[in-house]
Amino acid sequence: MSGPRVLAIESSCDETGVAVVVGGRRIEANQVASQVALHAVTGGIVPEVAARQQLRWIVPTLEAAFQQSGVGWEDLDAVAVTHGPGLIGSLLVGVNVAKALAVTHDLPLVGVNHIEGHIYANWLTGAAETPLPAEPPFPLVCLVVSGGHTQLVLMQDHGRYTLLGQTVDDAAGEAFDKVGRLLGLPYPGGPAISAAAVGATPATRFPRARTAGPYDFSFSGLKTAVLRAVEGYRARNEPIPIDGIAAAFEEAVVDALATKTLAAARDHGVAAVALGGGVAANAALRHSLGQRLRAEGLPLLVPPPALCTDNGAMIGAAAGFRFAAGDRADAALEAVPNLALPWLVP
């Protein structure tokens, strides 16, 4: 396949990702060093610990990516890196390594927004997949659901984003993690709740939040409702039906996400709906949203679970399209913890 071959680095949070991606689509290597086991001990991410682990793993992960792809520096057209949003210490590791590599190997540098990466995971395909699958069609609505974000994004073309709505409090992944902790499940809560909920009958029906904006979300009330339910069982000296509460919580989150996403897709006459971010790995969400969209004749695009959570390949995908559009960064590229996408005015 043709197109620029990009070395992409992701270090915004607690995963060290390095990938080689061609033409913004084809993955030649994708290596991820995860800190999940380490943060499970503290039940969450300690930013300084995450940054030190990024330093520890960046070089071995780079070496593993080169080994997997079999390419050398002379085969690369650019170096790309996530420069925000994320944790400052973690971001600084990737940004500075990428800058140093670009300068020392005389390669152009491309700065990528992490959320744009989550969206572009939908463009990725494996090294051996032939013919190349069709690209996602425009316009599309993407539901970005991750540890720090829950946003409904209308994408009219490459790099053209309108923010339709977002969470007014907790992100969906954050809610999964907090409720997981509340139920005594291991960190991270998302996969643990999802596993507990499989085959379980919901113990109750948690209320769905009302929001002012038609495409906004709110999950903090749901989290409090779970807490009250757990306290109720404790006060009555009854065993807590962990699996049933997990199922009821997951059902409420999935219902809210699917309902608003469907409304956004209908109202904007899109050609497809896409999912991105760690919570997009959730099987119940993929199933429920897929089913509801099918009834409307709309396709749901979902990256494989390993490309939903943080990885370098998604950064390489976004960078491929940015590079083709002439986007270049230089040694002044900064790590920006609260970096936003360049939203178009609706």
Ligand X SMILES: Nc1ncnc2c1ncn2[C@@H]1O[C@H](COP(=O)(O)OP(=O)(O)OP(=O)(O)O)[C@@H](O)[C@H]1O
Token pair for 198: 């499989």
Residue from 16, 31, 90, 146 in contact with Mg ion (CB under 5 A): 146
Q: Which of residues 258-287 bind ligand X (CB under 6 A)?
A: 277-279, 281-282
Residues contacting 261, CB < 8 A, separation 6+: 141, 143, 152, 273, 289
Q: Which of residues 68-107 bind ligand X (CB under 6 A)?
A: 85-86
Residue 86 site contact among Mg ion, ligand X, none (CB < 5 to 8 Å, cut-off depends on kind):
ligand X
Q: Which residue is nearest to ligand X (CB)?
A: 278
Token pair for 146: 């991750």
| Closer Cβ to ligand X, 66 or 206, answer by number | 206
Q: How many other CB atoms are there within 10 angstroms of residue 147's CB atom?
A: 21
Stretch that binds ligand X, among 47-55, 140-148, 228-236, 332-340 (CB under 6 A): 140-148
Residue from 28, 116, 170, 177 in contact with ligand X (CB under 6 A): 177
Residues contacting 71, CB < 8 A, separation 6+: 5, 20, 28, 29
Stretch that binds ligand X, among 1-9, 18-26, 125-133, 172-180 (CB under 6 A): 172-180
The reply on whether position 14 binds Mg ion by CB under 5 A is no
Strands 160-166 and 272-276: unpaired
Residues contacting 315, CB < 8 A, separation 6+: 8, 9, 10, 17, 19, 80, 81, 82, 112, 114, 117
Residues contacting 52, CB < 8 A, separation 6+: 89
| Closer Cβ to Mg ion, 216 or 310, answer by number | 310
Instruction: Tell me how far apart the alpha carbons of residues 161 and 158 are, in angstroms, rounded to a whole number.
Output: 8
CB of 306 to ligand X, least distance (A): 10
b/e code 110-123 from CB counts within 10 Å (16+ = b): bbbbbbbbbbbbbb
CB of 150 to Mg ion, least distance (A): 12
Residue from 84, 191, 202, 316 in contact with ligand X (CB under 6 A): 191
CB of 215 to Mg ion, least distance (A): 21
Residue 189 site contact among Mg ion, ligand X, none (CB < 5 to 8 Å, cut-off depends on kind):
ligand X
Q: For 239, phi and psi rounded to 5 degrees?
A: -65, 145
The reply on whether position 173 binds ligand X by CB under 6 A is yes
Query: What does R_g of the chain's alpha carbons equal in angstroms?
Result: 20
Residue from 66, 123, 161, 176 in contact with ligand X (CB under 6 A): 176
**Direct distance between the N- and C-terminal alpha carbons of the chain, in angstroms, rounded to an integer:** 36
The reply on whether position 303 binds ligand X by CB under 6 A is no
Residue 148 site contact among ligand X, Mg ion, none (CB < 5 to 8 Å, cut-off depends on kind):
ligand X
Residue from 310, 311, 333, 339 in contact with Mg ion (CB under 5 A): 310
Amino acid residing at 256: A
CB of 303 to Mg ion, least distance (A): 12
Residue numbers of the site for ligand X (CB under 6 A)?
Answer: 12-13, 85-86, 114, 118, 146-149, 173, 176-177, 188-191, 194, 277-279, 281-282, 309-310
